[in-house]
């Protein structure tokens, strides 16, 4: 009897353990369901991939992101589709660059009847003024796209360079503006947005120090780079590199024979220039200039778009590291 009673006790205890385990699993599943139900991502639309990556870094699981211009897209030649109209119609937040980068935006906003919060990521940056030729190119493109409104900084189309994210100092401003906008649209998660933005900005600060140090080792007279269009000016202003654009601000701008000849003469006189390509620009003129001058040919720089997600330039910080690394390698006289 004692053995039988002991056996029954063991069975009873075993069932207790099983029941406890089941209750624990049920509780865990309930918590998971509750957690999933608690986080209802806020639909956010970003105008292009650089801003989209910033939104994803700062918003995390609290945002449901849609990029209007996808990877490899060219903002200077973009035309919205009905899918973009539907995505914006359902969004609570729209994040744009400003500085007249999105010349097609007014038509898209009108078509979607968007009534949510609009975040201008470049708000507060010091705009880079364009030279006459780049300004003329940008002005023509803006009017061809139907944009007549002033940029976010209150300047008329074609007066400023919109590629302000090509400076990490400006990138920090972008991050703060995005965090503030998301917090306004979703106050319940404001502390999370602020904390994620500060961590993100800390990463930018560390990378900024590294880039300044590395480029500082290159003699100033050797920091000359030929690029297809005028998209790296903020990088140049921030880090002391002279970028010589073949064409104007738009990747769709065409360089005149006179411009190309002047660039060839300039490189031959000063020497030490490197010629780079861009993912969305025609490489033929850059390759021609490299052949005629004997300039060092660098790789591809990312200006208006990120690389594929699994590539080094697949994020904003990754893109910045990639561009800086390519420039440092090509311009390094000790190479």
Q: What angle do CA 77, 326, 324 make, to 5 degrees?
A: 85
What average pLDDT does the chain have? 80
Q: What is the mean pLDDT of residues 227-237?
A: 91
| Residues 76, 304 contacting (CB under 8 angstroms) | yes
pLDDT tens, position by position, 22-47: 334 344 433 343 444 578 999 999 99
Listed by start position, the domains of the chain span 1-38, 42-199, 217-331
Class of domain 217-331 as given by CATH:
alpha beta
224-227 and 273-278 as β-strands: parallel, antiparallel, unpaired? parallel
Domains 42-199 and 217-331 share a fold: yes
Q: Which fold has domain 42-199?
A: Rossmann fold (3.40.50)
pTM of the model: 0.78
The tokens for 133 are: 């030729």
pLDDT tens, position by position, 137-160: 444 444 444 443 333 333 344 589
d(CA 111, CA 82): 9
Q: What is the mean pLDDT of residues 6-19?
A: 41
């Amino acid at each position: 009897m004692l053995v039988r009673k002991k056996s029954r006790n063991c069975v009873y205890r075993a069932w207790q353990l099983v029941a406890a385990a089941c209750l624990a699993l049920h509780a865990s599943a309930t918590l998971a369901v509750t957690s999933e139900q608690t986080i209802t991502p806020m639909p956010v639309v970003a105008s292009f991939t650089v801003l989209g990556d910033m939104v994803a870094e700062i918003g995390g699981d609290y945002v449901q992101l849609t990029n209007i211009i996808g990877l490899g897209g060219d903002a200077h030649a973009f035309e919205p589709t009905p899918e973009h109209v539907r995505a914006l119609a359902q969004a609570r937040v729209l994040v744009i660059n400003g500085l007249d980068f999105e010349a097609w935006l007014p038509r898209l906003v009108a078509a979607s009847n968007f009534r949510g919060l609009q975040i201008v990521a470049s708000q507060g940056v010091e705009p880079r003024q364009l030279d006459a030729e780049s300004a003329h190119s940008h002005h023509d493109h803006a009017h061809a796209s139907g944009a007549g409104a002033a940029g976010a900084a209150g300047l008329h189309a074609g007066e400023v360079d919109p590629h302000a994210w090509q400076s990490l100092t400006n990138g920090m401003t972008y991050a703060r503006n995005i965090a503030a906008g998301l917090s306004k649209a979703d106050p319940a998660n404001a502390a999370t947005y602020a904390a994620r933005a500060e961590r993100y900005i800390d990463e930018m600060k560390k990378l900024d120090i590294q880039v300044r140090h590395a480029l500082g080792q290159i003699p100033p007279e050797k920091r000359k780079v030929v690029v297809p269009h005028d998209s790296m000016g903020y990088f140049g202003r921030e880090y002391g590199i002279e970028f010589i654009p073949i064409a104007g601000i738009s990747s769709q701008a065409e360089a005149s024979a006179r411009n190309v000849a002047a660039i060839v003469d300039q490189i031959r006189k000063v020497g030490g220039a490197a010629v780079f390509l861009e993912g969305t620009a025609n490489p033929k003129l850059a390759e021609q200039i490299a052949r005629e001058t004997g300039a060092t040919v660098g790789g591809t720089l990312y200006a208006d778009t990120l690389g594929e997600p699994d590539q080094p330039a697949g994020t904003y910080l990754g893109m910045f590291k990639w561009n800086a690394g390519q420039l440092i390698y090509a311009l390094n006289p000790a190479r």
